[in-house]
Chain A
């Protein structure tokens, strides 16, 4: 792992958070590999990838596209008023990185606000990145929420 490689991966993760914070959801979606997956396991960090256990969200490109298109179409009742989000990241920790593959661990806090309401979540992003046409793409974005199994109000955007 060269310092340049590490820096490149850290930049990728921080740029991703910026796209979400700026509500640029189509640009965010484009960061996913064709087989990419966005996963918020119900068991948080204790859940292994092979567990038969549910998730708050477990979405491939098709379902993520549905989510983003719905937000952008402007006809979602639950988005009047619209939700906004802020991700505050710790420095991404690059655990594995070579020319084709990277694994990154990034603690975060997340605030989602809508009108007078605001929710606050915390946890870790665990990225598995792959290299496609000279750029990093998300193969897996796993979001471990500290209180994944708790009763939640609507979480409408992307922790």
Chain B
């Protein structure tokens, strides 16, 4: 790992981490493999990461498998109806217990290799040739204790979050008011329930995960980055006969052609721990029509005032740093998973708001397909640019990445705070949270 050169100008605050300055970050954050390995432990280990959604595991024994920070994880609904989170590793020799994305374990978990079995709460149940273990010390050893639980698991309105490290903030302290973004999604259902639906669009890109998370909060890039798609869309639409009904796809693509002022005025909220809300005032999603009977159903459940609040809030993106970005309308979620220092998995999920018109799910699926599919012409320019940055940052000589736009000394002490949406405070805020975790070694490192 390279050491950072000190900045020449005097800095008002002592930086938490030598690679994260007040208004810029060092390229090693994106390109250094050793730093990535440390980041998996110190930063992702302490973070509350999105792992899955309760609707994927509705029944007792239902499970999903997922890889988090390079580690195999098994989420399972137990006999009490609670979600359990284990490492997906047999206590014996390490075989993954399940290798399909989802399924049902039946009455117990059973390793396919030597048939060690476990109760749904992870406790050991049986092993073949049990007499062979008498007096061997297995029962007292770590291998005799059943499946290893993740350090933290918390279900918030069916969104399942986990923490891999025993160390780190509690769930409420970690997210705080940023969780209102989940409330906004859930309360778009007249019965307060979301279901994952319509399949997950999955992308790999040859860039560090930070390019993607920065870009979710980057309201300045659409004008130049997406010009090739939005200008053609605008021209094509202008050639249509006037009064022609606008297809959903056009309704979703055309706002990308808006100008800098539009994207700066949508407003942003900075939350502690790197979380954020972009599009506090309005967003490219504000103009979607709301069916009248749907609004009435929401009012019956949540009251007129709350319904108004939920429907008027169509933020561009709410980031629950560092694993998900949410949209209330359309009901879409992106899940960001680092795979390597220069490789990232990005998934686009759609939700059905139970009891709401199916057009909401259709809107989510259409938006995800148009903007977040591996075949999306909007995503193509984004991904090209992320991958280009990954290469560009290999350049030596000037190692700093600028996040200066609208920077004011002392801003870091002010969150939560509202600001203009073009303010790169949204990104600086992410790196302050990152630096906080990265500057503190884990007890396991000190041992």
Interface centre among B232, B236, B384 (most CB of A within 10 A): B232
The answer on a CB contact under 8 Å between A154 and B250 is no
The answer on a CB contact under 8 Å between A66 and B375 is no
Segment 170-207 of B: residues with Cβ below 8 Å from A: 197-206
The answer on a CB contact under 8 Å between A151 and B203 is yes
The answer on a CB contact under 8 Å between A43 and B199 is yes
Whether A101 sits at the interface, judged by CB under 8 Å, is no
Which residues does chain B contribute within 8 Å of A30, judged by CB atoms?
none
Interface string of B352-395 (1 = CB under 8 A from A): 00000010010001001100011101011101110000000000
Q: Which of A13-21, A54-62, A85-93, A133-141 contacts B (4 or more CB under 8 A)?
A: A54-62
Across the two chains, which residue of chain B brings its CB closest to A57?
Answer: B375
Once the chains are docked, how many angstroms separate the CA of A66 from the CA of B234?
10
Whether A50 sits at the interface, judged by CB under 8 Å, is no
Once the chains are docked, how many angstroms separate the CA of A56 from the CA of B235?
25
The answer on a CB contact under 8 Å between B377 and A52 is no
Segment 233-255 of B: residues with Cβ below 8 Å from A: 233, 235-236, 247, 249-250, 253
Which of B236, B347, B350 contacts A69, CB < 8 Å? Answer: B236
Whether A150 sits at the interface, judged by CB under 8 Å, is yes
Whether B229 sits at the interface, judged by CB under 8 Å, is yes
Whether A113 sits at the interface, judged by CB under 8 Å, is no
The answer on a CB contact under 8 Å between A63 and B249 is yes
Whether B225 sits at the interface, judged by CB under 8 Å, is yes
| Nearest CB of A to B337, in Å | 9
The answer on a CB contact under 8 Å between B369 and A66 is no
Across the two chains, which residue of chain B brings its CB closest to A63?
Answer: B249
Once the chains are docked, how many angstroms separate the CA of A75 from the CA of B397?
30
The answer on a CB contact under 8 Å between B204 and A52 is no
Once the chains are docked, how many angstroms separate the CA of A134 from the CA of B345?
47
The answer on a CB contact under 8 Å between A52 and B361 is yes
The answer on a CB contact under 8 Å between B198 and A54 is yes
Which residues does chain B contribute within 8 Å of A70, judged by CB atoms?
228-229, 232, 377
Once the chains are docked, how many angstroms separate the CA of A55 from the CA of B203?
13
Whether B227 sits at the interface, judged by CB under 8 Å, is yes
The answer on a CB contact under 8 Å between B202 and A69 is no
Once the chains are docked, how many angstroms separate the CA of A43 from the CA of B199?
8
Which residues does chain A contribute within 8 Å of B205, judged by CB atoms?
153-154
Which residues does chain A contribute within 8 Å of B379, judged by CB atoms?
154
Which residues does chain B contribute within 8 Å of A73, judged by CB atoms?
228, 231-232
Once the chains are docked, how many angstroms separate the CA of A158 from the CA of B23?
42
Once the chains are docked, how many angstroms separate the CA of A156 from the CA of B205?
13
Once the chains are docked, how many angstroms separate the CA of A77 from the CA of B205?
16
Query: Given A56-B374, A154-B384, are A77 and B202 neighbors across the interface (CB < 8 Å)?
Result: no
Segment 20-74 of A: residues with Cβ below 8 Å from B: 40, 42-43, 52-58, 60, 62-63, 65-67, 69-70, 73
Across the two chains, which residue of chain A brings its CB closest to B226?
Answer: A77
| Nearest CB of B to A142, in Å | 14
The answer on a CB contact under 8 Å between B369 and A62 is no
Once the chains are docked, how many angstroms separate the CA of A66 from the CA of B376?
11
Which of A52, A53, A63, A152 contacts B374, CB < 8 Å? Answer: A152
The answer on a CB contact under 8 Å between A66 and B381 is no
The answer on a CB contact under 8 Å between B368 and A54 is yes
Across the two chains, which residue of chain B brings its CB closest to A40?
Answer: B375
Which of B197, B199, B236, B380 contacts A66, CB < 8 Å? Answer: B236
Whether A8 sits at the interface, judged by CB under 8 Å, is no
Once the chains are docked, how many angstroms separate the CA of A77 from the CA of B225?
7
Segment 141-163 of B: residues with Cβ below 8 Å from A: none
The answer on a CB contact under 8 Å between A56 and B203 is no
Once the chains are docked, how many angstroms separate the CA of A155 from the CA of B377?
9
Binding site for A on B (CB under 8 A): 197-206, 225, 227-229, 231-233, 235-236, 247, 249-250, 253, 345, 347, 350, 358, 361, 365, 368-369, 373-375, 377, 379-381, 383-385
The 7 closest A-B pairs by CB, nearest first: A78-B384, A152-B374, A151-B202, A76-B228, A78-B380, A57-B375, A42-B199
